[in-house]
């Protein structure tokens, strides 16, 4: 059975929920917390990449390449990922990312 855009959005939101729990329970000075946040952020972006092209375009518009680049930086350049950049992304961009995913879930 083919998964819907709502299914993929829901999966991404689950990863973001766990990411937020890691942030609340941990400390940005703790590498284990940073690693856990990076893992869940990359997983959420991966799930979002499985959205239909139309849903992705509607949800993220021209921001999608930057979102995808964030995932690629985490996955392919992990040793050089700056914890402060990840923290800034979580603190300033995560709410908008989650809101876009929730809209997809409602629309399907």
pLDDT number for residue 74: 93
Q: Which of 29, 9, 16, 27 is nearest to 93 (CA)?
A: 16
Query: What is the extent of the structural domain holding 39?
Result: 5-107
Q: What tens digit of pLDDT does each residue of 27-73 get?
A: 999 999 999 999 999 999 999 999 999 999 999 999 999 999 999 99
Q: What is the pTM of this model?
A: 0.92
Residue 106 has pLDDT above 80, yes or no: no
Residue 36 to residue 99: CA distance in whole angstroms: 22
Q: How many domains does the chain have?
A: 1
Task: State CA 43 to chain mean position distance.
Answer: 7
Residue 76 to residue 14: CA distance in whole angstroms: 23
């Amino acid at each position: 059975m083919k998964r819907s855009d709502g299914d993929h959005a829901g999966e991404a939101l689950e990863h973001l929920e766990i990411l937020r729990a890691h942030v609340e329970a941990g400390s940005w000075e703790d590498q284990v917390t940073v690693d856990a946040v990076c893992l869940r952020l990359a997983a959420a972006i991966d799930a979002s990449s499985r959205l239909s092209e139309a849903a992705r375009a509607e949800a993220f518009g021209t921001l999608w390449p930057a979102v995808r680049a964030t995932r690629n930086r985490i996955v392919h350049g992990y040793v050089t990922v700056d914890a402060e950049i990840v923290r800034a992304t979580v603190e300033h961009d995560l709410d908008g990312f989650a809101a876009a995913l929730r809209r997809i879930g409602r629309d399907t």
